[in-house]
Amino acid sequence: MSDRLYFRQLLSGRDFAVGDPVATQMVNFAYLIGDRETREAVIVDPAYAVGDLLDVLAEDDMRLSGVLVTHHHPDHVGGEMMGFALPGLADLLARESVPVHVNNSESEWVSRTTGVAATDLRGHDHDDVVEVGSIPIRLLHTPGHTPGSQCFLVDGRLVSGDTLFLEGCGRTDFPGGDAEAIYQSLQWLADLPGNPVVYPGHQYSAESSAPLDDVRQGNFVFRPKSLAEWHRMFSG
């Protein structure tokens, strides 16, 4: 599968949305995942400059066939944030009519944040699989940062959104956040077999990716061994 897999990690403000001060400050990652033989690809978390992301696909001779959404926050899908109107899903769908894959628990949040109609969203449950050409992408429901946060597992790579960073994890003090849920999600991710390489939703560390074994050993969010310890560590 690795020979067929098309996989690109793009950093906002550097690889796309260059010169955009919000994109540069937020250091979001977007991902392009596809099948090199069928030339189909999906974008994970399109925001800021969707035209730039489509241009990268075109330059690589790839065709957009869908979108994967990790969660509903505007820096990942577009919408109002910090007084700014961020481009995202709505702008992409105005150019390309493709399915948008979200977790069922996130559909209403995504629609409300972006203004995209619910009929444009494809809701999924935990462990559903989206196939891009012949590339299967496993959808993992990892609530906590938001109710329907999801990660994507593809060919030894874990696209972890804002659930898990190389250092730290997603905040739970935004609407819909749940500290106990993210603890459980992190424990579940820690037990994933095969030591997949973690690709986070933001560059909050020097490295842009790392094997899960290394993240487990070095990331402080894995130090608590019980929910009670988790609460003691993060209760302020």
Length of the chain: 236
CA-nearest of 183, 136, 178, 140 to 161 is 140
What are residue 103's DSSP bridge partners?
A: 124
Taking the chain (236 residues) in runs of 10, the rounded mean pLDDT of each run is 90 97 97 98 98 98 98 97 90 97 97 95 98 98 98 98 97 94 97 98 98 97 93 74
Tell me the CATH number at 49: 3.60.15.10
- One-letter amino acid at 69 equals V
The pLDDT score that the predictor gives to residue 1 is: 57
Token code pair at residue 125:
């449950």
Q: Extract the runs of DSSP E, i.e. beta strands, from the chain.
A: 5-11, 29-35, 40-44, 63-68, 79-81, 84-86, 100-103, 121-124, 129-132, 135-141, 150-154, 157-161, 197-200, 210-211
- CA–CA dist 119, 11 (Å, integer): 30
The pLDDT score that the predictor gives to residue 84 is: 82
Three-state secondary structure call for residue 38 = coil
Please state at what angle helix 227-234 crosses helix 179-190, rounded to 10 degrees.
120
Number of domains present in the structure of the chain: 1
The pLDDT score that the predictor gives to residue 83 is: 81
Residues with Cβ within 8 Å of 211's Cβ and at least 6 positions away in sequence, in order, are 195, 196, 197, 198
What are residue 169's DSSP bridge partners?
A: 164
